[in-house]
């Protein structure tokens, strides 16, 4: 992996890794906390404080449903990668694939508190860029490095999502 400073990224703020991952995939500030909170309200009307799609008090921790709606509003599909299947180089070379989103369990405070963390592997300029808001820098990876990295992660209980262009029902 090589250091990649030229790729758009946001540093982790509160529990907003889902927001940072969306913006990293679009390589700009495509969404705000206010917009993602509005999606949460649409998914669970009348549940503003104890909304099942985010953590209370505006801290973030958005669930997969929020990210799926956000991607669809920008014309992208978020597809679950079957955990029984290996990530392949052929899959990574798909011209409709713009990247992969990873969701993994994190332990905080000595393992007393567990939460899920979002980050992505974004396809740009003939490589993949690992963009994780909890890290200090982005890393550039070859297709083989990306495949190997994701397959190791996949075997440790993470969820992987393919982010694709084309044939998306845009939800308003």
Query: Which residue of the set 37, 53, 63, 132 is catalytic?
Result: 132
Query: Which residue of the set 37, 117, 120, 139 is catalytic?
Result: 117
d(CA 76, CA 92): 16
Range of the domain at 17: 2-165
Looking at the domain assignment, is residue 78 inside a domain?
Answer: yes
CATH of the domain at 9: 3.90.70.40
Model pLDDT, residue 111? 56
Looking at the domain assignment, is residue 172 inside a domain?
Answer: no
20 classed as catalytic:
no
Looking at the domain assignment, is residue 52 inside a domain?
Answer: yes
How far apart, in Å, are the Cα atoms of 149 and each of 51, 55, 68?
33, 29, 23
Identify the CA nearest to 78 among candidates 144, 147, 22, 11: 22
144 classed as catalytic:
no
Query: Which residue of the set 17, 20, 40, 139 is catalytic?
Result: 17
Q: Which residues of 130-141 are buried (b: 16+ CB within 10 A; e: fewer)?
A: bbbbeeeebbbb
Looking at the domain assignment, is residue 8 inside a domain?
Answer: yes
pTM strictly above 0.95: no
d(CA 110, CA 112): 6
Model pLDDT, residue 16? 74
Instruction: Please give the average pLDDT of every successive group of 10 residues along the chain, which has 172 residues.
Output: 65 81 93 86 73 68 87 94 90 94 75 75 93 86 93 86 75 40
Looking at the domain assignment, is residue 171 inside a domain?
Answer: no
Model pLDDT, residue 153? 87
17 classed as catalytic:
yes
Model pLDDT, residue 80? 92
Please tell me the total count of domains within the chain: 1
* Cα atoms in the Cβ-side hemisphere of radius 13 Å centred on 133: 22
Looking at the domain assignment, is residue 54 inside a domain?
Answer: yes
């Amino acid at each position: 992996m090589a250091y990649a400073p030229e790729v758009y990224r946001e540093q982790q703020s509160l529990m907003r890794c889902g927001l940072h991952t969306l913006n990293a995939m679009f390589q700009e500030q495509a969404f705000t906390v206010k917009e993602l909170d509005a999606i949460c309200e649409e998914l669970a009307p009348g549940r503003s404080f104890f909304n099942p799609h985010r953590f209370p008090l505006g801290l973030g921790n958005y669930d997969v449903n929020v990210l799926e709606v956000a991607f669809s509003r920008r014309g992208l599909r978020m597809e679950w990668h079957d955990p029984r299947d290996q990530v392949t180089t052929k899959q990574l070379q798909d011209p409709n694939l713009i990247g992969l989103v990873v969701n993994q369990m994190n332990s905080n405070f000595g393992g007393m508190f567990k939460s899920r963390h979002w980050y992505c592997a974004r396809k740009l300029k003939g490589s993949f860029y690992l963009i994780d808001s909890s890290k200090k820098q982005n890393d550039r990876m070859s297709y083989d490095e990306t495949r190997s990295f994701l397959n190791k992660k996949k075997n440790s209980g993470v969820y992987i999502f393919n982010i694709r262009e084309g044939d998306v029902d845009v939800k308003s």
